[in-house]
Structure 1
Amino acid sequence: MAAKKAMEGISKGLMEEVHKWGAMKQNGVSLRYMMEFGLRPTPRNLLISAQFLHKELPIRIARRAIELDSLPYGLSDKSAVLKVKNWYLESFRELRAFPHIKDNCDELYFTEMITKIKVRHNNVVPMMALGVQQLKKDLNPKRIVYEDLDEIHGFLDRFYMSRIGIRMLIGQHVALHDPNPAPDCVGYIHTKMSPVEVARCASEDARSICSREYGTSPDISIYGDPKFTFPYVPSHLHLMVFELVKNSLRAVQERFSNSDDVPPVRIIVADGLEDISDEGGGIPRSGLSRIFTYLYSTAKNPLSQQPETDIETPSNMAGYGYGIPVSRLYARYFGGDLQIISMEGYGTDAYLHLSRLGDSQEPLP
């Protein structure tokens, strides 16, 4: 109800401004450019970066706000989606109200503002996932034809990909202000990231979640050279590995819940590739084509377990249906990809390809 009232208070002038900016051209950047530009975070470079963001962020945010207003099947009217739209419009309003950035004093104030915007949008993914679940709850499950919901899937792919880019640009700019950056780090980018080490940290986090949910967790075996490094964003890789391992742990744990001989989840790190495999019984052939959609999950719907007032920080191990498709978007953001191969009755292999060169431009939806 509060979200609907907020929507009613939006001025016609603001929406006209949103549509004007939403029609402007976006400008993508590459990982290599971010890294090379950030190597020298001089006051002049930070000023240039802020001036770029001052124009670029309203364009990207406006595009998403416009789409949020015209979704099919009544998704735009779901309370969770209205809340997300309100966040986007508020951020757009703040960015447009900020005056031209002329000097480094302006740049510091601007950096404070976009830091707050990034925090405001922290829960966009679970909130949008809730909106989709609210829609799914209203639909007759027997009449859902997933292929007929391509429009929603396409929107969510664009929406989440855009969000990854917005958060990367803001996070990179803010991180460049750190007076004591970690060794070999340029903002968000680690110039010598060890995928084995990141996989190890993400795996422990996933095991911790699994233990909390089931009281125990399968082991994880990691194979690869920890000295192998390349430039990448560790937080992106951590999220992808965490989601994939979490799914594998759940599948194995549920399949071998009454067994003393539980097979480990295996992670093999090769040159630009991570293979995460399990013996959790695999994905039914009927569900394999749907694992990258947002209306499908093999887990129990968390809305049946968690009050809607508590979804700001969903704690369930699975069930919202966005972990795998969003992980693929993170891989594709810098030119990589995620593929899932499953053998029903045995297990699943997830192949995570990462682009080492970082020359590909951001995909701009």
Structure 2
Amino acid sequence: MAVRKKLCDSFSKSLMDEVHRWGCMKQTGVSLKYMMEFGSRPTDRNLLISAQFLHKELPIRIARRAIELESLPYGLSDKAAVLKVRDWYLDSFRDLRSFNDIKDMNDEREFTQMIKAVKVRHNNVVPMMALGVQQLKKGMNPKIVYEDLDEIHQFLDRFYLSRIGIRMLIGQHVELHNPNPPLHCVGYIHTKMSPVEVARIASEDARSICLREYGSAPEINIYGDPSFNFPYVPTHLHLMVFELVKNSLRAVQEKFMDSDRVAPPVRIIVADGIEDVTIKVSDEGGGIPRSGLSNIFTYLYSTAKNPLDENADLGVADTAMTMAGYGYGLPISRLYARYFGGDLQIISMEGYGEIRILCSFSVQNVYAASIYLSLHLYHAIL
């Protein structure tokens, strides 16, 4: 408690009162359709409107998260790593509220630089929160059933989903300043994204991690029409496919490491139906027993050694990509899938392997789906 008090003392009562006042304000949902249409014309006027919107919207979202970080169950709010994350949110709120009203393009440019710094400040929020949960677990009964900690899991889902939204809004605005945007890109959104191409790049990245970790890696076979495309955020899809393929590669590699047999390939199928896009990642890595499936989407559950170091400098978490062990890859990948109306499911055949199915969303109804999800998403955050 002494640590908590000391960190709280670094923020004035007036700031905390303002955080609670802004945290009671209503958020504004923004759809994929609106971001695409608005961002297709990055004129000075539109950039000014966007900055003015973020100047009001970001403090509301950040204040809500800061408030929630102060009242978490099981003493999670008192863990040093969680206090560090809360301080990042309070620092960002203070920076945003200290910025005067945006009236011209000089103000807009200064504001854009400031929110870029805010985004960088929050780069390590996910591993830091994972460290906080690890600190909590250390003091709990080792026989605890982690999926029973519903309040913790529900908070982390809300928290990480909100973080996706905040980073999407900041990143989209910042990217609209790019004087030479990639072809068919509107900020973060690729209007003609090829899921096969994104899957190929994500798979190569995952395979390079496997090669670095084990010295060898199974082959990856991708099936699908490379010319098929639809509007989506490539960085989101890359993150999801990377995580799924990385897990499959690890499972196969470890199962066949001492075997005379050649490790079977990981298979990726991109199915472009009339209404849905589905990406299936399947492997022969032995699967997950039924008892393990109930834990697969709980935070910090992992069958690998945890790479988080509780004694590390809490100001800078080590976010270097590792093969496994953090425990939040799959649950956060599912949140990215759900952010624009999709989902992530895992079907396991114990003793054989897993089929990890990543469903994106309805292609024909992409705009309607994104609008509906925006409304659903922000109701969930409330």
Q: Give me the TM-score of the superposition, normalised by structure 1.
A: 0.96
The match for 1:294 among 291, 294, 299 is 299
Q: Post-superposition shift, 1:358?
A: 3.9
Equivalent runs, 1:221-236 vs 2, <5 Å: 221-236=221-236
Corresponding position: 1:322 with 2:328: yes
Corresponding position: 1:312 with 2:313: no
Aligned to 2:218: 218
Aligned to 2:42: 41
Higher alpha-carbon deviation: 257-266 or 195-204 = 257-266
Q: Secondary structure at the match of 1:117?
A: helix
Q: Post-superposition shift, 1:170?
A: 0.2
Q: Post-superposition shift, 1:146?
A: 2.3
Q: Is the contact made by 1:301 and 1:320 (CA closer than 8 Å) also made in structure 2?
A: yes
Q: Is the contact made by 1:282 and 1:346 (CA closer than 8 Å) also made in structure 2?
A: yes
Aligned to 2:7: 6
CA pair 248-139 structure 1, distance change in 2 beyond 3 A: same
Q: Post-superposition shift, 1:161?
A: 0.1
Q: Post-superposition shift, 1:317?
A: 1.6
Q: Is the contact made by 1:133 and 1:320 (CA closer than 8 Å) also made in structure 2?
A: no
Q: Secondary structure at the match of 1:266?
A: strand
Q: Is the contact made by 2:346 and 2:355 (CA closer than 8 Å) also made in structure 1?
A: yes
Distance 1:68 1:294 in 2: 17
Distance 2:191 2:66 in 1: 34
Distance 1:226 1:4 in 2: 56
Read off the aligned partner of 2:122 and give its amino acid letter: H
Q: Is the contact made by 2:147 and 2:294 (CA closer than 8 Å) also made in structure 1?
A: no
CA pair 188-256 structure 1, distance change in 2 beyond 3 A: same
Aligned to 1:145: 145
Aligned to 2:359: 353
What is the root-mean-square deviation of aligned Cα atoms in Å?
1.6
Higher alpha-carbon deviation: 161-170 or 214-223 = 214-223
Equivalent runs, 1:93-112 vs 2, <5 Å: 93-112=94-113
Aligned to 1:283: 288
Q: Is the contact made by 1:335 and 1:358 (CA closer than 8 Å) also made in structure 2?
A: no
Aligned to 1:250: 250
Q: Post-superposition shift, 1:121?
A: 0.5
Read off the aligned partner of 1:122 and give its amino acid letter: N
Distance 2:149 2:179 in 1: 48
Q: Give me the TM-score of the superposition, normalised by structure 2.
A: 0.92
Distance 2:300 2:183 in 1: 41
Aligned to 2:23: 22
Q: Is the contact made by 1:283 and 1:347 (CA closer than 8 Å) also made in structure 2?
A: yes
Distance 1:102 1:303 in 2: 44
Q: Is the contact made by 1:31 and 1:358 (CA closer than 8 Å) also made in structure 2?
A: yes
Higher alpha-carbon deviation: 9-18 or 224-233 = 9-18
Q: Post-superposition shift, 1:3?
A: 8.1
Aligned to 1:239: 239
Read off the aligned partner of 2:355 and give its amino acid letter: D
Q: Secondary structure at the match of 1:141?
A: coil
Q: Post-superposition shift, 1:290?
A: 1.5
Q: Secondary structure at the match of 1:61?
A: helix
Q: Post-superposition shift, 1:2?
A: 8.2
Distance 2:29 2:265 in 1: 41
Higher alpha-carbon deviation: 295-304 or 328-337 = 295-304
Read off the aligned partner of 2:55 and give its amino acid letter: H
Distance 2:177 2:324 in 1: 36
Identity %: 75
Distance 1:314 1:184 in 2: 31
Higher alpha-carbon deviation: 254-263 or 221-230 = 254-263
Aligned to 2:68: 67
Distance 1:249 1:133 in 2: 25
Q: Is the contact made by 2:4 and 2:78 (CA closer than 8 Å) also made in structure 1?
A: no
Q: Post-superposition shift, 1:295?
A: 3.6
For structure 1, the residue ranges without an aligned partner over 5 or more in a row are: none
Q: Is the contact made by 2:243 and 2:329 (CA closer than 8 Å) also made in structure 1?
A: yes
Aligned to 1:175: 175
Distance 1:5 1:182 in 2: 47
Matched pairs, number? 363
Read off the aligned partner of 1:346 and give its amino acid letter: Y
Aligned to 1:129: 130
Q: Post-superposition shift, 1:314?
A: 4.3
Read off the aligned partner of 2:89 and give its amino acid letter: Y
Distance 2:79 2:251 in 1: 31
Q: Is the contact made by 1:342 and 1:349 (CA closer than 8 Å) also made in structure 2?
A: yes
Distance 2:218 2:297 in 1: 25
Higher alpha-carbon deviation: 206-215 or 295-304 = 295-304
Distance 1:252 1:193 in 2: 29
For structure 2, the residue ranges without an aligned partner over 5 or more in a row are: none
